Structure 1
Amino acid sequence: MARSREEPASIGARDRAMIDRYLAMLAAERGAARNTMLAYRNDLEDAAGVLGNLADADSDALAKLGRGWSELAPSSLARKSSALRGFFAFLEAEAIRADNPSDALPRPSTRRPLPKVLSHQDVDAIFAVIAARLDTAHPSPLDLRLAALIELLYGSGLRASELVSLPLHALATDRPYLILRGKGGRERLVPISDRARAAVAAWRPHVPEESAWLFPSGKSYLSRVRLFQLVRTLAAAAGIDPARVSPHVLRHAFATHLLEGGADLRALQAMLGHADIATTQIYTHVDAARLVTLVNERHPLVDLKRSGA
């Protein structure tokens, strides 16, 4: 029978104190998201409940624990291993114990595939369809809404859930950015392009004044499923395989194309709302040829070579 989360006696006072200290460090020094903290606490408390004394566990105990994870999905296995590796690294760094037995834990292969990529030509084709629909004396309100949605997706890198739930007055006409509360309750500043602000301004008169949302639908806001359908239908109209396009792919295109244009990775991390720079590095795929060119042209040693040093 699985151990209940209502059995605190199964976790020793020392383990509980060490887990609390480790999570406090993650929150203070690394700004870990609330959901990450909760997942790590669950993983550590589960391990403590199984082992009886997590903080003093040796390699044999951790190896046995790891073998018990054999039926887990790779993502769950990776998270559990990460939680415990970080915990023992913390104990070693704080001189709470002299060794780190976490090498005994499994190291699952969790290499994330590169996201689907849209070329600049693909994006141009999508916006050409929108431009053609708006090239009339009285564009359809639904086309104006679509233009605002796509401009914000590609022009600001918003998540689909963030986009559809934007409050009616989220975008001020005199302010080229908005303050957004994203994953984990973290706030970030999101730049809004002039094109996106113009598209929203054109759509705004068609939103009922009593609406709480910029993109209302019934008594709530546009669903993510409907946004997904709109994006795929637009891709098909642009001659692009709909299976290649989604709101998330447009967010990725925003990051990829900015990075290709010379944007700083840390700036992208802030704009995308990633807690960990590693997520941004995976998310923002750049072709290897461009990176080689960048090193050959921009590395400080290039200047030394030119000067004959």
Structure 2
Amino acid sequence: MAVMVPRLPEVRLVKTRQRGWVNPYAGLEAFDYARHAPSPEISAFVSHFWVVTWTDLAEPYEQRIVSHPTVNMTISHDFHRIAGVIRGGFSYTMLGSGRALGTRFRPGGFRPFLGGSVSQLTGRFVEIGEMFGAAGVSLVERVQAESDARAAVALVDGFLRSLGPERDPLVEEAAALVELAENDVSVTRVDELAVRSGRSVRSLQRLFRDYVGIGPKWVIRRFRLHEAAERVYEGLDLATLAAELGYTDQAHLTRDFTAAVGMPPAAYARLGSDKA
């Protein structure tokens, strides 16, 4: 008999398209950010394309990201690589003028392109040419040479369509479960997500490692840290937040928060108050 997990009211006070960005409002003053939808043929695999452009930055600007459980493919003039799930935070420094074009795959969505477990990419960066050979090298060159952002996005979209990824129902299942973990803040434990999925804990763990690239415990905790960052930034009480997000105490949340965001919650809250 299935155990019914009590559901708390969903709380979502901040809904930004920049979830996971550290100090997002400062970032949007330093560079432009745009999203582009994928074509219908690859929308089962790709969440969206994103384009970051910056112009005449006289001083270096570093944007830190609290990573998502997704694979990203990024092409800029500095690098052109595929990033598996990054367990910690990471950052990118911009100076002068430039553009970065990224493809965020849906959780599980890169597996049909990889042809194997996504966990082999976790914590790694792989050159696009290494992954896709001469066709990948050509894609990078064409995207770098294309000055129009929409046309560059179309090049990447067309390239991915040309690879002919096959639909996989497990991609859909993995993506739906990751979305559930993100959007329902009452999900704080793996066994709760397992009950909601209809799978055993072990089966859920296998699905996540094979398709998402990392286990469900990390995924749940990472989304709760995203939630914490947004709500601390808006000035909410940390002790109450720790209890709501499933942490045993405030100190545990503070440790996780500092490791991912790069500063303790109190310092991050001051950034939020400075924007007011």
Establish whether TM, by shorter chain, passes 0.5: no
Which has the greater radius of gyration? 1
Q: Which has the higher contact order (CA 8 A, sep 6+)?
A: 2
- With normalisation by structure 2, the TM-score equals 0.34
- With normalisation by structure 1, the TM-score equals 0.31
Per residue, is there more strand in 1 or in 2? 2
Per residue, is there more helix in 1 or in 2? 1
